Structure 1
Amino acid sequence: MSRLPIARYLFSSHTLFLIMFLGAFYLLVAVVVAVAALATPITLSGVDVAGQALHWLALGYGYSAATLLTTMIVHGRTRREFLVQHPLFQVVTSAVLAALITGVYALEAVVYRAAGWTRRLQDHRIFEATDYPTIFGAYWSMLTVCLMTGAFLGAAILRWETAGALALLPAAVVVVYAGAANGLFSLPFARVGLDVAVTAVMVAAGWALLWSAVRDMPVRIRVPA
Structure 2
Amino acid sequence: MKIFHHLTRSIGLYCVEVALGAFAFCIAGTFALALFNDIGVSGWNIVMSQIVRWFLFWVGIYLVHNVLPIAVAHGRTRREFLTAASAFAVVLSLAVTALGLLGFYSEDGIYYLMGWSVDGHAEPLAFLMMFLVWCAAGMFCAAAFDRFGVAGVVAVPISLVLAAVTSARMPQSGDLPFIHEIPELLGNGWHLLSLVAFLVALAGTWAITRDAPVRTR
TM over 0.5: yes
Counterpart residue number, 1:86: 85
Cα distance, 1:64–1:100 mapped onto 2, change above 3 Å: same
Rounded to whole Å, the distance in 2 between the matches of 1:15 and 1:187 is 35
Counterpart residue number, 1:50: 47
* Superposed structure 1 runs of 4+ greater than 2 Å apart: 178-196
Deviation (angstroms), 1:178: 2.5
Instruction: Give CA-to-partner distance per residue, 1:116-154, whole Å, 9 cap, x none.
Output: 011113xxx5x3xxxxxx2x2122111111111101101
1:59 maps to which of 57, 60, 70: 57
Deviation (angstroms), 1:179: 2.4
Rounded to whole Å, the distance in 1 between the matches of 2:19 and 2:157 is 29
Indicate conservation of the 8 Å contact 1:33/1:46, yes or no: yes
Rounded to whole Å, the distance in 1 between the matches of 2:114 and 2:86 is 41
Counterpart residue number, 1:130: none
Matched AA of 2:57: L
Counterpart residue number, 2:151: 163
Give the count of matched residue pairs.
208
Matched AA of 1:152: F
Report the 3-state secondary structure (helix = DSSP H, G, I; strand = E; otherwise coil) of the residue aligned with 1:77: coil
Alignment of 1:113-192 (within 5 A): 113-121=112-120, 127=122, 134=123, 136-181=124-169, 186=174, 188=176, 191=183, 192=186
Rounded to whole Å, the distance in 2 between the matches of 1:57 and 1:165 is 20
Matched AA of 1:78: T
Rounded to whole Å, the distance in 1 between the matches of 2:127 and 2:216 is 37
Indicate conservation of the 8 Å contact 2:69/2:214, yes or no: yes
Rounded to whole Å, the distance in 2 between the matches of 1:68 and 1:200 is 25
Indicate conservation of the 8 Å contact 2:70/2:216, yes or no: no
Rounded to whole Å, the distance in 2 between the matches of 1:23 and 1:187 is 32
Matched AA of 2:138: G
TM norm structure 1: 0.86
Deviation (angstroms), 1:186: 4.8
Deviation (angstroms), 1:61: 2.2
Report the 3-state secondary structure (helix = DSSP H, G, I; strand = E; otherwise coil) of the residue aligned with 2:119: coil
Report the 3-state secondary structure (helix = DSSP H, G, I; strand = E; otherwise coil) of the residue aligned with 1:120: coil
Counterpart residue number, 1:21: 18
Matched, 1:77 2:76: yes
Cα distance, 1:183–1:39 mapped onto 2, change above 3 Å: closer
Unaligned runs of 5+ in 1: 128-133
Indicate conservation of the 8 Å contact 1:176/1:187, yes or no: no
Matched, 1:204 2:199: yes
Moved more, 175-184 or 160-169: 175-184
Rounded to whole Å, the distance in 1 between the matches of 2:207 and 2:170 is 26
